[in-house]
Chains A and B, each alone.
Chain A
Amino acid sequence: MADKVFDVVIVGSGASGGTMAAWLARSGADVALVEGGPRINTRTDFNTHGMPFHFENRHIPVMKPGKQGFDSERSRGVGGKSLTWNAVAWRFSQRDFKGQTFEGAGEDWPLDYKDLEPYYNRIETEVGVCGNRDGLEDLPDGNSLPPVPMKCSDLIVRRGAAKLGVKVIHVRKSTLSRPVGSRPSCHFCGNCMAGCDVVAKYNSADVHIYPAMRTGKLTLFHDSVVREVSVNSENRATGVKFLNRLTQQEGEVRGRIVAVAAACVQSIALLLMSRSSRYPNGLANSSGMLGKAFIPHFTNGVQCFLTDLVGKPPSNDEGFLDHAYVPSFMHSRKRAYARSFGIQFNYQNRRSTGWTRMIPGIGADFKKAVADRYPAFLTFQPYGEMLPGKSHVDLDWNRKDAYGLPAARRNMIWGDNDWKLFRDMTAWSLRILDSAGAEILSVGEEPRTNHELGGARMGSDARTSVVDHTCRTHDVPNLYVCDGSVFPSASEKNPTHTIMALAARTADEIATRLRKGEV
């Protein structure tokens, strides 16, 4: 195997790496997929149907006992974060891609909605996305399976929001509301983020990688922690070096093209680690932009009780976590900041009862107060778009992991626009909840990050960006980076669907180059 040169070596097997691997293998390319974690059997290895009282510390671990190995911090495991994601799947709109043009804020993507539209279409058909067609300017409709009905509590929020002229729509998720192929539809057990045991929820391992391996064109190197992308004296990537996760033994996979898709921060870290005399500050970093313009979403959490449901009998409303969504509505309103936010809500899992301790009372009164509020508990979480500023990712060479690799550090520096947006999205959350009738339990005071994006941004100018519009690095002609790290601006929408469309487009580009013999 060591002598073999693959057409493409992909690092990372999540939504991006998995999609790319399958698309390339189907195109006839000889693909190696290198993943740091183990193979996981989604049908038997997850604690999907666990209850807190099955465990002494009342924490439901992702993996079943004896099935250790999934590193949930780095999401190492074949399938990556797609194993435990919540599967929300929005298309970005032209406004999301062109913040600079529309508002003079953020960075324009060097591509248009029209460039990604065919890939959104094909990904939706391929993986199955449920949702409604809402006809919103800011949220292009897709090829959807029927939406899942809203929960009773969603309708209460929708009524309150409507009084303020704010829309509440059906969520769109890469979770099946109807069977597709051999995958059954969702059974609404409500523990999506512990790993779906029937693959009603998309994960890249079961939907993309394992089927593609049956073509004989995809070779999986699991438990292989990549520590370096190798580049030769002709400035060409030649493959990757890895350490076996269990034995620490060195290994190497060679390829004519290398694509890094290890998830935003891990991809940045890998390139920063891949130093050489030509690239002393990290591979493909002649611009100095690698790690810069880090723009994860920021969120705020509100916990509350809907007064209409206090004292009502509990129902089985776990569903598939959130069924509804408040799409961005600030673009059309006067405001003191650029960009916008959307609100995810009602995704609480009723197995989580950490809030009960906050309820006042001792004795029978306490029990009643908790039981009355239990069916009414609701989480509300706006997601804001962060503008590229000083936040960045770097390496801490003094902190090494078990493989001797330096730790990636996320340095968050909130800008003026970020704070204004953060305060306004908190205020709007409270306004909507007040209009719906809610008793507020807690409001977060500081932004928290989620959905890591940016740090290897896409652009047409090689001096200010890391990759071009095909996700090819400006510096190394056969090296690609394709995941959230390439986003020049973040939108307020959950990014994975766009990452998958981008991965499919990049796979098409690579396949074309291979076919034309350009590599």
Chain B
Amino acid sequence: MPRRRETLKIMGAVGSTCAFPFQADELYGQHEHAPGAAPAPKLPTAPSFFTAAEFETITRLADLIIPRTNTPGALDAGVPAYVDYVVSRNKALQQVMRDGLAWLDQRAQGPFVKLPQPRQLALLRPLDRMKDKPRSGDTGLRFFQAAKGLIADGYYTSREGLLTGLGYQGNTVMAEFPTCLHEH
């Protein structure tokens, strides 16, 4: 909380806030403010930022965090390619991801992807604290927050995640907005 009486804030040159300032609404991908030029959702399968080994770990993480269940999983939705796309355009994330991937292999005492699944999960679970603020040396937490954030963003904005996973039904044409018939 800022100091009570007088907090000076210079809000910059142009544009105040968007109409509804959400707290956690912006996706990592939207931090790149270039207009999404061509609607080209087909992403390449070969990574442009990550090495093959790193990409294998990202792919594994995506599958662990959002596996295929009765609905499609992160791999069905092409999430690893989305993660690579966003990270390749975001310098700050590049550092976090590269450091974190190295940290993960170090903790695994070898390639993380070679660990059996229970050990992979055991390594990740203590990091699943999305609301904690990572401290300066918290490479693991910082990495996990970014990775899970990217994977969740990628999946829940994909056709598979949004339409099938969540059951999005909007963006239609309705003659009237229906009156709620539940008892409230």
* B180 engages A151 (CB within 8 Å): yes
* A357 engages B24 (CB within 8 Å): yes
Q: For the complex, is A215 an interface residue (Cβ under 8 Å from B)?
A: no
Which residue from chain A places its CB closest to the CB of B146 in the assembled complex?
A: A357
Q: For the complex, is B4 an interface residue (Cβ under 8 Å from A)?
A: yes
With A53-B157, A352-B25 as known contacts, state yes or no: A357 contacts B41, CB within 8 Å: no
* A56 engages B171 (CB within 8 Å): no
Q: For the complex, is B86 an interface residue (Cβ under 8 Å from A)?
A: yes
A316 cross-chain contacts in B, Cβ below 8 A? 169-170, 172, 174
* A357 engages B152 (CB within 8 Å): yes
* A448 engages B17 (CB within 8 Å): yes
With A73-B14, A149-B178, A316-B169 as known contacts, state yes or no: A54 contacts B41, CB within 8 Å: yes
- Give the docked Cα–Cα distance between A86 and B18 (Å): 11
* A419 engages B4 (CB within 8 Å): yes
* B65 engages A363 (CB within 8 Å): yes
* A374 engages B159 (CB within 8 Å): no
> 0/1 per residue, B135-179, Cβ < 8 Å to A?
000000000000011001110111101100111111111110111
- Give the docked Cα–Cα distance between A347 and B18 (Å): 13
Q: For the complex, is B92 an interface residue (Cβ under 8 Å from A)?
A: no
A446 cross-chain contacts in B, Cβ below 8 A? 1-2
Least distance between B38 CB and chain A CB atoms (Å): 6
With A354-B26, A360-B130, A362-B124 as known contacts, state yes or no: A319 contacts B17, CB within 8 Å: no
Which residue of A187, A362, A371, A407 has the most chain B CB atoms within 10 A of its CB atom?
A: A362
Could you tell me the dominant secondary structure of chain B's interface residues? loop
With A61-B35, A450-B17 as known contacts, state yes or no: A313 contacts B153, CB within 8 Å: no
Q: Which listed residue, B2, B26, B41, B130, touches A358 by the CB 8 Å rule? A: B130
Q: Which listed residue, A73, A301, A363, touches B21 by the CB 8 Å rule? A: A301
* B30 engages A59 (CB within 8 Å): yes
- Give the docked Cα–Cα distance between A320 and B175 (Å): 13
B173 cross-chain contacts in A, Cβ below 8 A? 187-189
B8 cross-chain contacts in A, Cβ below 8 A? 411-413
A84 cross-chain contacts in B, Cβ below 8 A? 19
B152 cross-chain contacts in A, Cβ below 8 A? 353, 356-357, 359, 370
- Give the docked Cα–Cα distance between A414 and B5 (Å): 7
- Give the docked Cα–Cα distance between A398 and B24 (Å): 33
* B69 engages A450 (CB within 8 Å): no
Q: For the complex, is B99 an interface residue (Cβ under 8 Å from A)?
A: no
Which residue from chain A places its CB closest to the CB of B23 in the assembled complex?
A: A442
> 0/1 per residue, B65-108, Cβ < 8 Å to A?
11101010000000000100110010000000000000000000
Least distance between A395 CB and chain B CB atoms (Å): 10
Least distance between B107 CB and chain A CB atoms (Å): 16
* A351 engages B20 (CB within 8 Å): no
- Give the docked Cα–Cα distance between A53 and B40 (Å): 9
Q: For the complex, is A52 an interface residue (Cβ under 8 Å from B)?
A: yes
Least distance between A402 CB and chain B CB atoms (Å): 11
Q: Which listed residue, B29, B41, B174, B180, touches A152 by the CB 8 Å rule? A: B180
- Give the docked Cα–Cα distance between A65 and B27 (Å): 20
- Give the docked Cα–Cα distance between A301 and B89 (Å): 29
- Give the docked Cα–Cα distance between A350 and B171 (Å): 9
* A158 engages B184 (CB within 8 Å): yes
With A51-B171, A412-B9 as known contacts, state yes or no: A407 contacts B148, CB within 8 Å: no
* B170 engages A190 (CB within 8 Å): yes
A56 cross-chain contacts in B, Cβ below 8 A? 29, 36, 40-41, 43, 85
B170 cross-chain contacts in A, Cβ below 8 A? 189-190, 316-318, 349-351
> 0/1 per residue, A302-317, Cβ < 8 Å to B?
0100000000011111
With A362-B64, A390-B6 as known contacts, state yes or no: A68 contacts B171, CB within 8 Å: no
Q: Which listed residue, B10, B20, B32, B158, touches A381 by the CB 8 Å rule? A: B20
Q: Which listed residue, A57, A296, A374, A408, touches B13 by the CB 8 Å rule? A: A408
> 0/1 per residue, A381-402, Cβ < 8 Å to B?
1000000001000001001010
* A357 engages B149 (CB within 8 Å): yes
* A296 engages B16 (CB within 8 Å): yes
- Give the docked Cα–Cα distance between A60 and B6 (Å): 37
* 5 more A-B residue pairs beyond the given contacts A56-B40, A59-B30, with a C-beta to C-beta distance below 8 A: A52-B27, A54-B36, A149-B178, A353-B27, A414-B6
Q: Which residues of A contact B (CB under 8 A)?
A: 49, 51-61, 63, 65, 68, 72-74, 84-86, 148-152, 155-156, 158-159, 187-191, 193, 265, 296, 299, 301, 303, 313-320, 323, 344, 347-364, 366-367, 370-371, 374, 379, 381, 390, 396, 399, 401, 407-416, 419, 441-442, 444-446, 448-450, 452
8 A-B pairs with C-beta separation under 8 A: A51-B159, A57-B29, A58-B153, A350-B170, A362-B64, A362-B124, A371-B167, A419-B4
6 nearest interchain CB pairs?
A: A407-B13, A55-B36, A318-B170, A73-B15, A57-B29, A353-B156
